[in-house]
Amino acid sequence: MKIFAPKETDPDETRAALDPVGTKKLSTLGVTVIIESGLGDSSGHRDEDYREAGAEISSERNASLADADIIVRVRKPPADEIAKLKKGAIHISFLDPFNESSLIEAFAKADATAISLEMLPRTTLAQKMDALSSQANLAGYASVILAASRMKTILPMMMTPAGTISPAKFFILGIGVAGLQAIATAKRLGARVTAFDVRPEALEQAESLGAKALRIDLGETKSEGGYAKEMTPEQIKIQIEAQAKVCAQSDVVITTAKVFGRKPPVLIKKDVVAQMQNGSLIIDLAAEGGGNVEGVVAGEEVTTDKGVTLIGLTNYEGLVPQNATQVYSSNITNMVEHFLDEESKTFPIDLEDELLKGCVITHGGKIVHDRFTS
């Protein structure tokens, strides 16, 4: 079985789907690993490192795409590369399937098996392959480090003979994997942290990390499979009003609120941004999907005339590409190892398998995932 890792085509993408450690693990399992020359240029790995780990280095991207049994990458492929895949090839990456219907159709047409890592069920068994979590964890960390490097103040309280410096105030909105890591990182750096999530259990987790939980009575806030359900417009209105004061008093607001399969809710409106102090920062980790903050622009940084900077980067984990690649590569190799048939050295697609049923979008020339069939 041949696994090919092509270079990412997005010029801003610094991560790679495989690192040398993952390459070595796959080679040990009896899988042939081919990487495109330059794969690890941005994440700190030379072709030589991959070669030593057992990979073949390819400078013939199209030929390698056409020859591979499994293609692994971080981001969704360019549409024109899907038709180049071998019939029956397995493609593993993030695919953003809720917004990429034509890409999904292209996979079906090419008779390729598309595995969307976003759709992998968040079960205990799947934790080792959970790339959403591995990347969100680093994104949460990197967002706080970015904030710290951009602030005009320090984070901790400092009592000096020249006077006392107050701790910076952070507000973390959305306490999933990224939000929890952002809280932990900001606390470690000495900031005073307030946090909010619609899931009550997340508020308790925030408190266990030393944050103050903002409690807002929104009535019923059901979650499904651990994910928050979409709030009603009335609930969103109550939330926006109740958190406005905390936003206005914060030096840094980091938003991470997402609702699985839907556009992120807009939770901070322009009038609230306008109340924030000159020099304060908003970092919107949901910017790529539309953002939690009115006025944020994906991939850009905007400063309002009141001096509030809105950062809408779309790849915070890409700020720490070596670790992001390390854990992503580990997710991929764990997945291949988990499903590898030892004897035939193949990756059989059993659609009755609980995990594959959750994340295989196309197979056998058809869209097979029930969320995308109708």
> Annotated active-site positions, please?
122, 127, 130, 133, 227
Phi-psi bin for 223: left (phi > 0), alpha (psi -120 to 50), beta? beta
Contact call for residue 197 and ligand NAD (CB under 6 A):
yes
Q: Answer yes or no: are the C-beta atoms of 293 and 321 closer than 8 Å.
A: no
Residues near 156 by beta carbon (within 8 Å), at least 6 away in sequence: 167, 168, 189, 190, 191
Q: Which helix (H) or strand (E) holds 171?
A: strand 169-173
**Using the rule CB under 6 A, is 213 a contact of ligand NAD?**
no
Please provide residue 183's backbone torsions phi and psi, each rounded to the nearest 5 degrees. -60, -50
Euclidean distance between CA atoms 306 and 289, whole angstroms: 26
The stretch among 184-192, 254-262, 295-303, 347-355 that binds ligand NAD (CB under 6 A) is: 254-262
CB 73 within 8 A of CB 41: no
Residue from 55, 136, 144, 367 binding ligand NAD (CB under 6 A) = 136
Q: Which of 94, 96, 98, 260 binds ligand NAD (CB under 6 A)?
A: 260
Stretch that binds ligand NAD, among 14-22, 98-106, 168-176, 362-370 (CB under 6 A): 168-176
To which H or E segment does residue 303 belong? strand 301-303
Report the distance separating Cα 350 and Cα 7, nearest Å: 29
Q: What is the DSSP string of 241-263?
A: HHHHHHHHH-SEEEE----TTSP
When asked if residue 199 is in the footprint of ligand NAD (CB under 6 A), the reply is: yes
Decide whether 6 or 291 has the Cβ nearer to ligand NAD.
Answer: 291
With binding defined as CB under 6 A, does residue 196 bind ligand NAD? yes
Residue 9-48 contact track with ligand NAD, rule CB under 6 A, x = bound = ----------------------------------------
Q: Which of 34, 104, 168, 231 binds ligand NAD (CB under 6 A)?
A: 231
> Is position 257 an interface residue for ligand NAD (rule: CB under 6 A)?
yes
- Per DSSP, the three-state class of 164 is strand
Residue closest to ligand NAD, measured at CB = 176
Joined together, the tokens standing for residue 64 give: 């390698």
By the rule CB under 6 A, 133 interacts with ligand NAD = yes
Q: Is 173 in the site for ligand NAD (CB under 6 A)?
A: yes
Point out which residues pair with 254 in neighbouring strands.
172, 283
Which of 113/133 has CB closer to ligand NAD? 133
CA dihedral 302, 306, 308, 310 (to 10 degrees): -30
Instruction: Assess 131 for contact with ligand NAD (CB under 6 A).
Output: no
211 φ/ψ angles, rounded to the nearest 5 degrees: -85, 160
- Does residue 94 bind ligand NAD (CB under 6 A)? no
- Does 284 bind ligand NAD (CB under 6 A)? Our answer is no
Stretch that binds ligand NAD, among 106-114, 128-136, 321-329, 354-362 (CB under 6 A): 128-136
Q: Residue 52 and residue 278: Cα distance in Å, rounded?
A: 52
Instruction: Candidates 53-61, 84-92, 158-166, 255-263: pick the segment binding ligand NAD (CB under 6 A).
Output: 255-263
Of 40, 97, 176, 295, the one binding ligand NAD by CB under 6 A = 176
Least separation in angstroms between residue 169's CB and ligand NAD is 18
* Residue choice 25, 73, 192, 258 for contact with ligand NAD (CB under 6 A): 258
Give the total of residues touching ligand NAD (CB under 6 A). Answer: 31
Q: Which stretch of DSSP H or E encloses residue 115?
A: strand 113-116
- CB 314, CB 290: distance < 8 Å: no
In terms of Cα–Cα distance, which of 346, 352, 359 is closest to 114?
359
Nearer to ligand NAD, 61 or 122 (CB): 122
Contact positions toward ligand NAD, by CB under 6 A? 122, 124, 127, 130, 132-133, 136, 173-179, 196-199, 202, 226-228, 231, 239, 256-260, 265, 267
